[in-house]
Amino acid sequence: MSRMNPSRMNTQNMSKPLQGMHFFTTALALLGAACGSSPNEERIIAVPSYVDECDSAEPNAPPCFRQVSEPLEAHCGSLDCHGNTARYFRLFGWAGVRMEDAPALPLPSASGTGVATIPAPPAEEPGPVLVPGGEQTTEEELLANYQAMVTLQPEVTSLVLARATDPGELEIISKGRGAQHHKGGVAMRQGDQTDICLTGWFSGIAQPVSPALTADQVAQLQVAREAWTTACQESITLAIIPSEFETEAPIATGGAAPL
């Protein structure tokens, strides 16, 4: 048997066990490489701002989070989908699971960068039990939804907010569009009202107006915000029961016979 020079080895002259070993070691090496973290000296996570005030009289006030949460709840947050605490991405709200106790929640800082921890709220008498399909989504539920959204992919969220990458890179968008496997199927299409509402929010439509903006830029931003607000409102309308179905008799019948 001739001696084999390791530097000249190739898969053709390997025995089958050696081929297997070669494959195994390559796989291990790839796995090791995949698990290794790349150095990242500046890990600053910026997330879209949480704005709880919806009725601000201030002219340049940014849109509130309820404007984006409610369409999301209507399209994705029913009890049999993401309105369920068993889901990796869960949404509280009127369409799905309700928050029984409002826990102490960290709030984003004023800049929308990072998080600041606030002390637990004082213990209060338990309020009435919220039920699915009942009361409007509460502030605590909205905040929990916000946290669920921005912590799904913090790095990508940060890049989207900085306009360094497309919102379609976010799983919440790509799954909703059906571009990635999504058990719930296609919940929105690129460019439709729900898509505009969600991508706009991740892209910073609700960020505070920078003092560096010129008057023209502020005016443009206001126009964009108005269009975005309309899209969000229409998105909710699309999710509610069609009035003709709610009030009229069915035009055709089928399905199960009386038993």
245 is a contact residue toward another protein (CB under 8 A): yes
CA angle at residue 94 from 92 to 99, to 5 degrees?
A: 40
Element (DSSP H or E) covering residue 195: helix 193-202
81 is a contact residue toward another protein (CB under 8 A): yes
3 state SS of 113: strand
Contact region for another protein (CB under 8 A) — 48-56, 60-68, 96-104, 144-152?
A: 96-104
97 is a contact residue toward another protein (CB under 8 A): yes
Query: Residue 210, exposed/middle/buried by CB under 10 A (0-12, 13-18, 19+)?
Result: exposed
246 is a contact residue toward another protein (CB under 8 A): yes
Please, what is the minimum distance in Å from the beta carbon of residue 210 to another protein?
38
Please, what is the minimum distance in Å from the beta carbon of residue 180 to another protein?
17
13 is a contact residue toward another protein (CB under 8 A): no
Q: What is the number of other CB atoms lying within 10 angstroms of the CB of residue 43? A: 8
Of 59-78, binders to another protein (CB under 8 A) are 74, 78
Binding residues for another protein, total number by CB under 8 A:
44
Please, what is the minimum distance in Å from the beta carbon of residue 27 to another protein?
14
Contact region for another protein (CB under 8 A) — 48-56, 91-99, 165-173, 220-228?
A: 91-99
119 is a contact residue toward another protein (CB under 8 A): no
CA distance linking residue 204 with residue 152, whole number of Å:
17
Contact region for another protein (CB under 8 A) — 93-101, 162-170, 171-179, 212-220?
A: 93-101
CA distance linking residue 84 with residue 81, whole number of Å:
6
Q: Which is nearer to another protein, 150 or 236 (CB)?
A: 236
C-alpha distances out from residue 116 to 78, 106, 119, 215, 218, Å: 30, 6, 10, 32, 29
Hunting for tokens 């179905």 — which residue is that?
A: 245
Of 178-217, binders to another protein (CB under 8 A) are 183-185
CA distance linking residue 73 with residue 67, whole number of Å:
11
Binding another protein (rule: CB under 8 A), the pick from 4, 79, 164, 227 is: 79
Measured between its terminal Cα atoms, the distance across the chain in Å is 81
Chain residues binding another protein by CB under 8 A are 15-17, 20, 74, 78-81, 84-85, 94-100, 129-133, 183-185, 239-242, 245-247, 249-259
